[in-house]
């Protein structure tokens, strides 16, 4: 993992930072010199990530915080606590929180659909369903991908505009499932497609304030969730990927770090696929 110091003097907030892709993003941003706020619904997981971070290059301590991104009050309190400690809003925000509740469309109840879009009660996938590409459910967050993304983007953008900050970068971790669908995940796919639309619209509205908004769409990524998948299913998944292997959370984090940095200063409203070529064309 290269360390270039591209984020020195930046304050970054990562939701779902307690595990999986979110934890990898926290480590990557910290390695680039950012001060990192690790936000997760499970405070113990956030603190575990915090202990693994390298010291930032400004000598400013990192921070862990318990936050449920499906709650407006919790998100607003998180931003207030960050500004009280650092005297500025985060200029980098990565939304990596999200969970699944899978079932086939014919068997899915209204409440099961709504929980993923609004409240997200985490359960395991149906027995015959292919595991989700890019499922960020390795995070311990109990939040909704769509509602949580909206609340976080709005809160961070409001704080940046109010402070007069000249620029900001908001990155949301979506999923290739939102673009191509996946068996047993009609609710998850719908929420991730919504996240893309939300991000593109936010990019158009916030560009005049110097705030860039982009999506990262992972494919099949090795996380604690995929550790439970049988070798037979893993082999089938790999056969679908042109590069012939599962992705790593660190590879998703590398793309997030790029989008957060000035190297991507002319990139906004984009969705970058991190899939090893899965579903291309």
The gap between the terminal CA atoms of the chain, to the nearest Å, is: 29
CA 192 to chain centre: 11
Asked if 98 and 17 count as a contact pair (C-beta separation under 8 A), the reply is no
| Catalytic-labelled residue, pool 150, 188, 220, 258 | 188
What does the block give as tokens for 188?
A: 């998850």
Burial zone of 162 (CB within 10 Å; 0-12 exposed, 13-18 middle, 19+ buried):
exposed
What's the Cα-to-Cα distance from 75 to each of 33, 179, 258, rounded to whole Å?
Answer: 25, 28, 25
Q: Is 86 a catalytic residue?
A: no
Half-sphere exposure of 221 (CA within 13 A, CB side): 29
Q: What is the DSSP letter of 117?
A: I
Q: Which of 201, 190, 241 is nearest to 218 (CA)?
A: 241
DSSP letter at 185? B
Distance between alpha carbon 266 and the CA centroid of its chain, in Å? 21
Task: Provide the pairing of β-strand 92-95 with 11-15.
Answer: parallel
In angstroms, the CA 270 to CA 215 distance is 6
* Residues β-bridged to residue 185: 103
- Find all residues with CB under 8 Å of 268, minimum gap 6, and list them: 203, 207, 212, 213, 214
**Active centre residues (catalytic):** 188
């Amino acid at each position: 993992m290269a360390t270039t110091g591209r984020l020195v003097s930046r304050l970054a907030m990562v939701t779902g930072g307690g595990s999986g892709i979110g934890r990898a993003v926290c480590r990557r941003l910290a390695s680039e010199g950012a001060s990192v706020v690790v936000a997760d619904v499970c405070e113990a997981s956030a603190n575990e990530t915090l202990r693994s971070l390298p010291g930032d290059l400004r000598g400013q301590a990192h921070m862990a915080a318990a936050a449920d991104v499906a709650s407006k009050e919790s998100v607003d309190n998180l931003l207030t606590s960050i500004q009280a400690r650092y005297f500025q809003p985060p200029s980098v925000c990565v939304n990596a929180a999200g969970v699944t509740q899978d079932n086939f469309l014919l068997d899915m109840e209204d409440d099961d659909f709504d929980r993923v879009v609004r409240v997200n009660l985490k359960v395991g996938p149906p027995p015959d369903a292919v595991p989700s590409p890019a499922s960020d459910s390795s995070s311990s967050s109990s939040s909704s991908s769509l509602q949580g993304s909206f609340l976080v983007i709005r809160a961070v953008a409001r704080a940046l505009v109010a402070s007069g900050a000249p620029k900001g970068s908001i990155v949301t971790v979506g999923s290739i499932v939102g673009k191509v669908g996946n068996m047993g995940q009609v609710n998850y796919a719908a929420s991730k497609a919504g996240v893309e639309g939300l991000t593109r619209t936010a990019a158009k509205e916030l560009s005049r304030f110097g705030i860039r908004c982009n999506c990262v769409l992972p494919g099949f990524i090795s996380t604690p969730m995929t550790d439970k998948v049988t070798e037979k299913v893993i082999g089938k998944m790999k056969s679908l990927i042109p590069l012939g292997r599962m992705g790593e959370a660190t590879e998703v984090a590398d793309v997030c770090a790029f989008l957060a940095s000035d190297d991507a200063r002319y990139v906004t409203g984009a969705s970058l696929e991190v899939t090893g070529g899965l579903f291309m064309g």
